């Protein structure tokens, strides 16, 4: 049985592991920035789409949460049952603020951005954006997909067909990812991996 001291030690280890993840991602971003500066994209949200043996879509998950489960061994089960995606986004926002890096302005205004009316792409899909920097290949019968892209005025444009197949936890994660992506636009050339790690831990309610 774990003692109180054991629980405290585990929490401290979790904090240290998270800080190490962000440090590594930040260092990689600094060294890759000069190479990728010429390929700077408009930003967007990536996901993992999986099909069954018949080729039918069975799940669409934002890359942030997929990496959280498979790279950082985080658990999101049962955290947001029966909640709408905006309610989840509001709840997670307070956790995201704890893990904010850098000195940027307008953080509190991001929640207003999340509540803006959504813009969907219907009948067409967002063009792929090469900002994933993933260190793994998708599982069998799964693939990377572009769920959203950033359009005029910095607002996300979301694939309606993929959005309709996502649960509310993933919808909230997508909106939070897009909001923080636009907020850090001027500070990092290769920032998507950094934001995904930050959001993965915040969605798991790590303090």
C-beta of residue 65 within 8 angstroms of C-beta of residue 176: no
Mean pLDDT, the chain, whole residue set: 76
> Is residue 8's pLDDT more than 70?
no
- How far, in Å, CA of 96 to CA of 82, rounded? 21
Distance CA 146, CA 166 (A): 13
Who wins on pLDDT, 179 or 26?
Answer: 179
Nearest to 181 by CA among 50, 63, 69: 63
- Residue 49: pLDDT over 90: yes
pLDDT digits (tens, 9 = 90+) for 94-150: 766 665 544 444 556 777 888 889 999 999 999 988 877 778 999 999 999 999 988
Digit-coded pLDDT (tens) for 60-94: 999 999 999 999 999 999 999 999 999 999 988 87
Q: What is the DSSP letter of 104?
A: -
């Amino acid at each position: 049985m774990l003692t109180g001291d054991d629980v405290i030690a585990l929490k401290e280890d979790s904090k240290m592991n998270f800080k190490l993840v962000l440090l590594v991602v930040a260092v990689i971003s600094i060294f890759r920035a000069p190479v990728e500066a010429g390929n700077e994209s408009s930003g967007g949200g990536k996901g993992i789409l999986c099909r069954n043996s018949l080729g039918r879509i069975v799940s669409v998950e934002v890359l942030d949460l997929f990496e959280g489960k498979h790279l950082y061994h985080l658990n999101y089960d049962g955290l947001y049952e029966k909640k709408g995606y905006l309610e989840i986004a509001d709840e997670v926002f307070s956790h995201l603020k704890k893990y904010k890096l850098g000195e940027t302005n307008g953080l509190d205004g991001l929640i207003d951005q999340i509540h803006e009316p959504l813009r969907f792409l219907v009948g067409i899909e967002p063009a792929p954006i090469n900002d994933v920097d993933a260190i793994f290949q998708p599982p069998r019968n799964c693939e990377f997909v572009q769920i959203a892209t950033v359009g005029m005025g910095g607002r996300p444009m979301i694939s309606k067909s993929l959005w309709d197949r996502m649960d509310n936890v993933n919808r909230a994660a997508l909106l939070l990812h897009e909001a923080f992506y636009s907020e850090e636009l001027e500070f990092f050339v290769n920032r998507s991996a950094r934001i995904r790690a930050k959001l993965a831990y915040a969605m798991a309610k790590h303090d």
